[in-house]
Amino acid sequence: MCHPANDSAHPARVYAKATFTPESVRQNDAIPWQELQVFFGGQWREVRYKEVSSVLWRRGAGRKPLRLIVVAPIPYQLSPGMPRYYRDPAYLLVTDETNISTHEALQCYFDRWQIEVNHRDEKQHIGLVDAQVWNDKSVDRLPAFMVAAYAFLLLASLQAFGPTRTEAYLQPPKWQRRRRRRPSCLDLLTKLREEARDHPDRYDALGFTPNIEQILFRAA
């Protein structure tokens, strides 16, 4: 990686001669560490990082300006009293032309696992990969419709019950020691089926009456 040349003697030159690597930026004491808080694992955590702007990656993005963010290794302990271990550092490249802040970029990075959970829920529980359609318009529209329905389900749960797993949801058995902090996709679907069974009068606004027995039978 390098910076733009900005050489008046050679105006056609794009890349500066001096190059560097993300690892060299991490080890460079002349670049100070900065700190901010990100939400991860149910609480706010301090993250140390370094940032370098106007970065060019010759073999990657070419002439597109990038921003390099180096995240320091995060210490952790397997149990109290045990020695501290360190995870590997992280190196992020963000398009420098966007207006995304460093905090937003790091929060998205730490939220990447939640994106994988989102994909799993859509495939396993919403049935995104189970659709059997052949019409060209249906192939394009049905996945978008199912993802939108899943998004509406999440928004409805947040507005009705908040982000935590309250007593409104079906409670897990007593032998499960680990307390669930928030409802799962199955919890939301179970709650939706429960309300559909207990409030059949709400179908009038939709203009059709679903077969609740068949829905519950397929869910079981």
Alpha-carbon gap, residue 201 to 193, rounded angstroms: 14
Is the domain of 132 the same as that of 72? Answer: no
Q: What is the pLDDT of residues 116-154, one digit of tens each?
A: 888 899 988 888 888 788 888 888 898 899 999 999 999
Name the strand (E) or helix (H) holding 137. helix 136-161
Write down which residue in 68, 88, 110 finishes a domain. Answer: 110
Write down which residue in 77, 93, 110 finishes a domain. Answer: 110
pTM reported for the whole predicted model: 0.66
Alpha-carbon gap, residue 32 to 94, rounded angstroms: 19
Is the domain of 135 the same as that of 53? Answer: no
Residue 129 or 38, more confident: 38
By DSSP bridging, strand 15-19 and strand 66-71 are unpaired
Range 192-206 average pLDDT: 79
Range 52-67 average pLDDT: 90
Is the domain of 51 the same as that of 137? Answer: no
Most confident of 81-90, 155-164, 200-209: 155-164
